[in-house]
Chain A
């Protein structure tokens, strides 16, 4: 059964700095998703990664997928306060429908 591990659990970073959130999964996961959640809010889809080597970028966030290493990363470039939120990765095998979520990374960006 697919298991997804995410780290770090908590990330406090200064504005302008770069950092990476890691998402490892245990078995073949054909698709990898990244979501953002603001306090008290629902999940907002950020990226859908469908194939090995996929890289997607939106603003200061860039996500990549390495299916051989069973690793996805979410890279934050020159962080700003507005990026403060909890970020979740989720895996999905090709023959199943449900998303398996990581534990989430709570990101706090301070001046």
Chain B
């Protein structure tokens, strides 16, 4: 079946602009995660959605970052007033969500470059 998909695959933006990154999880997966991979910070957790529960936003680096998940499926990560340090690959993952230790399947990522 289809895996996790993300769009766009690449995004180049100017400093100060807002960007939206999209994630389509695997059908039927109730848990959705956003991670960021950058040269300086490695792979780091950003935010987690599970069903109708309040999301775990503990990894968001600043209030410029926000995410939502509509209808329990598609998620959008929004970065406002982008900064150069936001340049990274943003990875989305989903899991069945039955247990916390369910395997997470990762999407191809969105490479964000802030000029």
> Which positions in A face B, CB cutoff 8 Å?
30-31, 33, 35, 41-45, 48, 50, 88, 90, 92, 94-104
Kindly state the separation between the CA atoms of A3 and B87 in the bound complex, as whole angstroms.
24
Whether, in the assembled complex, B8 has its beta carbon less than 8 Å from a beta carbon of chain A, the answer is no
Kindly state the separation between the CA atoms of A101 and B104 in the bound complex, as whole angstroms.
13
A sample of 17 cross-chain residue pairs with beta-carbon separation below 8 angstroms, ordered by A number, consists of A42-B106, A42-B108, A43-B106, A48-B101, A48-B103, A92-B100, A94-B101, A95-B100, A97-B33, A97-B48, A98-B45, A98-B48, A98-B56, A99-B35, A99-B45, A101-B43, A101-B44
Whether, in the assembled complex, B16 has its beta carbon less than 8 Å from a beta carbon of chain A, the answer is no
Kindly state the separation between the CA atoms of A42 and B104 in the bound complex, as whole angstroms.
12
Apart from A45-B104, A99-B33, 20 more pairs, CB < 8 Å? A33-B103, A33-B104, A41-B108, A42-B108, A43-B91, A43-B93, A44-B106, A48-B101, A48-B103, A50-B101, A90-B43, A92-B101, A95-B100, A96-B100, A97-B33, A97-B56, A98-B45, A99-B104, A101-B43, A102-B42
Query: Scoring B residues 28 to 39 as 1 if CB is less than 8 Å from chain A, else 0, what string do you get?
Result: 000101010000
Kindly state the separation between the CA atoms of A100 and B45 in the bound complex, as whole angstroms.
7
Kindly state the separation between the CA atoms of A50 and B109 in the bound complex, as whole angstroms.
27
> How many pairs of A and B residues are in contact by the CB < 8 Å rule?
54
Contact B108 A94 (CB under 8 A): no
> Which positions in B face A, CB cutoff 8 Å?
31, 33, 35, 42-45, 48, 50, 56, 58-59, 91, 93, 100-101, 103-109
- Assuming the contacts A41-B108, A45-B105, A92-B100, asked whether A98 and B43 have C-beta atoms less than 8 A apart, the reply is no
- Assuming the contacts A41-B108, A43-B91, asked whether A98 and B59 have C-beta atoms less than 8 A apart, the reply is yes
* Chain B residue, CB-CB nearest to A50: B101
* Chain A residue, CB-CB nearest to B43: A101
Kindly state the separation between the CA atoms of A96 and B100 in the bound complex, as whole angstroms.
7
Shortest Cβ distance from B112 into chain A, in angstroms? Answer: 15
CB contacts (< 8 Å) of B101 on chain A: these are 30-31, 48, 50, 92, 94
Of the candidates B50, B56, B59, B109, which one forms a contact with A42 in the assembled complex, judged by CB atoms under 8 Å apart? B109
Kindly state the separation between the CA atoms of A102 and B50 in the bound complex, as whole angstroms.
24
CB contacts (< 8 Å) of B35 on chain A: these are 99
